[in-house]
């Protein structure tokens, strides 16, 4: 489902809206932030009052760089400020959710309750917790939310600064793991289009630059890899090291580069009493089905779950049990 084919739904909602709020998933990455910023540019072109909702207190390095460099250029608010910014006539307010369709993953679940009119623009598969009372524009064949928004920018012929084009390109590069996963001819075309607008490959690498200490910690996870059924890679961290959610995801991405590996699962501690699980697939293994049974979410290509007040060993046991059941 091309977002361009669905543009009439967006146009209809925007015609009636005076104030638009944008919200992506928690733990923002460059695809979530980039698509929000890109949509903000479209809304400015359409002369709409727009706010981006961000409740995250800690940001990954690339997101932190973008927010710092764009400080004062975009309207960012916390969810607690929504009501004071809303139009008095609630029919004139619109919430656009980007890069997720799951209610439990958004920046603020309370924010969902404040709006009668909502649109979801996402590239992940739908599931049990997909937001029900919203217009869904979902295309799981697209690489990223940034690719979807870049298509709209081209369609509406919105003039954007080269830096904004770079942010959108970085979201595509991130979600495709440098164009190695889930790419189509349209992915490469939109990347070319953004480059034609001045997107800088060098700046993209700057935004995606890794911290040396974090890289070293991730390498420790690579030392205890095991395979399940010959084509599933699995690794877990020690209970003494805390990782960021993004670190687990990057290791899961890396595991797909090994011969014969079709899917990967990585478990590690991401908080004082929180265990994280990140998974990736080349498309021949439905990791989303397993993660949903664990209380997480995802689709054919990527997914995640988190667990409170448990241990890495217990999560490992439950995961391996489900993988075995899925293979039978």
What residue ranges do the domains of the chain occupy? Answer: 7-207, 217-327
Asked if residue 3 has pLDDT above 60, the reply is yes
Question: Rounded to 5 degrees, what angle do the CA atoms 101, 104, 109 make?
Answer: 100
Q: What pLDDT, on a 0 to 100 scale, did the predictor assign at position 303?
A: 85
Is pTM beyond 0.85 here?
Answer: no
- pLDDT at position 326 over 90: no
How would residue 295 be classed by pLDDT, with cut points 50, 70 and 90? confident
Tell me the pLDDT tens digit for each residue of 201-211. Answer: 999 999 998 77
Residue 216 is predicted with a pLDDT of 82
pLDDT of residue 191: 97
**Using CA atoms, how far apart are residues 117 and 13, in angstroms rounded to an integer?**
8
Q: What is the reported pLDDT for 38?
A: 98
Query: Residue 1: is its pLDDT beyond 70?
Result: no
Residue for token pair 């004139």: 92
The sign of the torsion formed by the CA atoms of 301, 258, 223, 229 equals positive
pLDDT tens digits, residue range 210-233?
A: 777 777 888 888 888 999 988 999
CA atoms within a 13 Å half-sphere pointing along the CA-CB vector of 113: 6
Asked if residues 19 and 48 have their Cβ atoms less than 8 Å apart, the reply is yes
DSSP symbol at 130: B
Would you say domain 7-207 falls under CATH 3.30.565.10?
no
CA 112 to chain centre: 18
| pLDDT on residue 328 | 60
Q: What is the pLDDT of residues 107-163, one digit of tens each?
A: 999 999 999 999 999 998 888 889 999 999 999 899 999 999 999 999 999 999 999
Beta bridge partners of 207: none
CATH topology of domain 217-327: Diaminopimelate Epimerase; Chain A, domain 1 (3.10.310)
Query: What tokens appear for 141 in the block?
Result: 């064949």
* Strand-strand pairing, 226-228 and 302-308: unpaired
C-alpha 175/C-alpha 197 separation (Å) is 20
Q: Is-contact 199 169, C-beta < 8 A?
A: yes
Q: Which of 2-11, 112-121, 319-328 has the lowest mean pLDDT?
A: 319-328
**233: phi then psi, degrees, rounded to nearest 5:** -95, 140
């Amino acid at each position: 489902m091309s977002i361009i084919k669905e543009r009439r739904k967006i146009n209809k909602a925007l015609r009636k809206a005076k104030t638009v709020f944008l919200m992506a998933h928690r733990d923002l990455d460059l695809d979530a932030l980039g698509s929000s910023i890109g949509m903000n540019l479209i809304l400015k072109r359409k002369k709409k009052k727009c706010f981006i909702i961000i409740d995250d207190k800690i940001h990954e390095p690339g997101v932190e760089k973008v927010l710092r460099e764009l400080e004062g250029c975009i309207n960012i608010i916390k969810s607690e400020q929504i009501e004071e910014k809303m139009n008095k006539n609630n029919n004139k307010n619109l919430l656009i959710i980007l890069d997720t369709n799951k209610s439990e993953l958004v920046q603020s679940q309370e924010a969902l309750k404040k709006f009668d009119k909502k649109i979801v623009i996402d590239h992940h598969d739908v599931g049990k917790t997909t937001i029900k009372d919203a217009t869904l524009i979902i295309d799981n064949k697209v690489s990223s939310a940034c690719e979807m928004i870049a298509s709209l920018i081209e369609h509406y012929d919105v003039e954007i600064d080269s830096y904004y084009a770079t942010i959108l390109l970085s979201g595509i590069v991130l979600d495709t793991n440098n164009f190695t996963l889930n790419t189509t001819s349209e992915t490469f075309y939109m990347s070319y289009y953004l480059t034609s607008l001045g997107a800088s490959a060098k700046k993209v690498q700057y935004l995606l630059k890794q911290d040396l200490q974090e890289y070293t910690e991730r390498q420790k996870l690579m030392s205890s890899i095991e395979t399940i059924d010959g084509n599933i890679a699995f690794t877990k961290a020690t209970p003494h090291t805390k990782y960021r959610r993004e670190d687990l995801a990057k290791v899961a991405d890396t595991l797909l580069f090994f011969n014969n590996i079709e899917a990967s699962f990585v478990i590690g501690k991401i908080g004082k009493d929180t265990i994280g699980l990140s998974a990736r697939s080349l498309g021949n293994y439905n990791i989303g089905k397993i993660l949903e049974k664990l209380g997480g979410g995802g689709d054919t290509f990527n997914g995640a779950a988190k667990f409170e007040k448990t241990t890495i060993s217990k999560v490992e046991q439950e995961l391996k049990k489900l993988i075995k059941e899925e293979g039978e």
